[in-house]
Amino acid sequence: MERRLLIVEDDCLIAEAAADYFTGKGWLVKTEESGIRALRRLERESFHLILLDVMLPFMDGFSLCKKIRQNSDVPVIFITARAMEEDKLNGYSLGADDYVTKPFSLPVLYAKSMALTGRIQGKTSFLEAGTLKVDVKSHKVWKQGKILGLPPKEYDMLVFFLENPGRIYSREQLLIRFWGYDFDGNERVVDNHIKKLRKAMGSCGCLIQTVPKSGYRLEVEE
């Protein structure tokens, strides 16, 4: 199957080099120089992977990634000269799948892209924990075989925890992940939505554990 790649990069030399390399490997590649133009293209086209620069005109890569995650789970790899740990953590918190700093090796970037898209294509559409079952394609949730209605934010949080079982996420990380790094509210909004999610999950609500002084995690049953 032909893989489709969107490169969002305002450095023409980097964009052309990456586009030529991936095209030579059989990928269908499109490029955009700004976040706004990329967002418009994503409204009418679908892709298997996005290579996204952080420093973009008019709309930076972080803002674009946040908007992408509102509607899509397409894999995103940041390619940027910003190598600070804070920038990397911000990118991951917004839903990026990988973070590559410039200058980078095209063969290594290609290998990361193949590994990532291969995993995504091979993933099952169903996630399970206890008596809960989620179909991420249809956005349906069942508990003991009965449909469970969840508001959008609680559904997104449930899927996120199911996809990352056992990992601890701080309130700050969850706040950035689901409300964005420019959210003006406080971290208590996370607690409120976790409480609503647990209540909706009923007897399975205990699977989402509070880790004192750390955050929350989905308990993994051995």
Q: Name the residue ranges covered by the structural domains of the chain.
A: 4-122, 126-218
Least confident residue range of 34-38, 164-168, 191-195: 164-168
Round to whole Å and give the CA distance between 79 and 83.
10
Annotate 126-140 with DSSP letters as a single string. Answer: EEEETTEEEETTTTE
- Rg (the chain; Cα; Å): 19
Best CATH choice for the domain 126-218 from the list 1.10.10.10, 3.30.70.100, 3.30.465.10, 1.10.150.20: 1.10.10.10
Q: Exposure string (b/e) for 51-73, b if CB count within 10 Å is 16 or more?
A: bbbbebeebbbbbbbbbbbeeee
Q: What number is the average pLDDT over the span 61-83? A: 85
pTM across the whole model: 0.55
At 76 the pLDDT is: 92
The distance in angstroms from the start CA to the end CA of the chain is: 37
CA distances from 56 to 17, 40, 68, 113, 153 (A): 18, 15, 15, 21, 28
Contact between 190 and 171 under an 8 Å Cβ cutoff? The reply is yes
pLDDT 10s digits, 198-217: 999 988 899 999 999 899 99
At 189 the pLDDT is: 92
Contact between 60 and 40 under an 8 Å Cβ cutoff? The reply is no
Q: What are the two backbone dihedrals, phi and then psi, of residue 75, each rounded to the nearest 5 degrees?
A: -60, 140
Fold of the domain built from segment(s) 4-122: Rossmann fold (3.40.50)
Mean pLDDT of the chain: 85
Round to whole Å and give the CA distance between 214 and 217.
9
pLDDT at 130 over 70: yes
